[in-house]
Structure 1
Amino acid sequence: MMKFGTYETHARLVERMADALGVDLTERAQRGEDLSETEARNRVHRCQGCTAPETCVTFLDRLAQAGDKAPSAPDFCRNRDELARLAAE
């Protein structure tokens, strides 16, 4: 499998996906509501293991262009369940 981007690339994808679901990870971290730093890194590592990062970028770009939020992360998203839980809080 070809690697897609750097750790920072995937950190931005995680942040964008969270934003698309209405989850402000930065704000949660500043308020001490987010998971540990280790869990935050694990989200990025899960994203790095994704087999469809280009599809993720397309999904996020379309949402951004339309000014929409997503009701949920795509089925292929390895952070889908965690982000859904955070969005529900």
Structure 2
Amino acid sequence: MSFLDYLISVDARTALMGRMMQKLGVDRQLKTVPDHEAVTSRAVDRCRSCGHQDECAIWLDENEQPNDPPDYCRNRDLIARLQHAAGLR
């Protein structure tokens, strides 16, 4: 894999995380947590290290208004906490 391929794959994974947060209605809530930059950075790192990018992209395309992320999502706990804080749970 070239460095450019690596950067493209990292960007694609970051985009998947953004889509997941938005689809589950917690993208704005993420910006309000204390030290949100560090929390977001750790969430991006978890997403980047995930091996389910293709599955995730398909899941995002097929699920219009999901209540929960897929079981393999490494940010599942964070999303649940954000949903609770936003009153979505």
Task: Answer whether TM exceeds 0.5 for this pair.
Answer: yes
Distance 1:42 1:12 in 2: 15
Residue 60 (structure 2) pairs with residue 60 (structure 1): yes
Rg larger for: 2
For 1:85, what is the secondary structure of its paired residue? helix
Residue 21 (structure 2) pairs with residue 18 (structure 1): yes
C-alpha displacement at 1:35, in angstroms?
4.2
C-alpha displacement at 1:85, in angstroms?
1.0
Residue 37 (structure 2) pairs with residue 34 (structure 1): no
What number of residue pairs does the alignment pair up? 78
Tell me if the contact between 2:24 and 2:65 (Cα under 8 Å) persists in the aligned partners.
yes
Aligned to 2:84: 88
For 2:21, what is the secondary structure of its paired residue? helix
Residue 75 (structure 2) pairs with residue 72 (structure 1): no
C-alpha displacement at 1:49, in angstroms?
1.0
- What is the TM-score when the length of structure 2 is the normalising length? 0.75
Cα deviation 1:16-44 (Å, max 9, x = unaligned): 1111211123x652xxx134211111101
- What is the TM-score when the length of structure 1 is the normalising length? 0.75
The answer for unaligned runs of 5 or more in structure 1 is none
Aligned to 1:5: 9
Cα distance change, pair 83–28 in 1 and its aligned pair in 2 (3 A): closer
Q: What percent of counterpart residues are identical? A: 32
Distance 2:39 2:19 in 1: 17
The answer for unaligned runs of 5 or more in structure 2 is 1-5
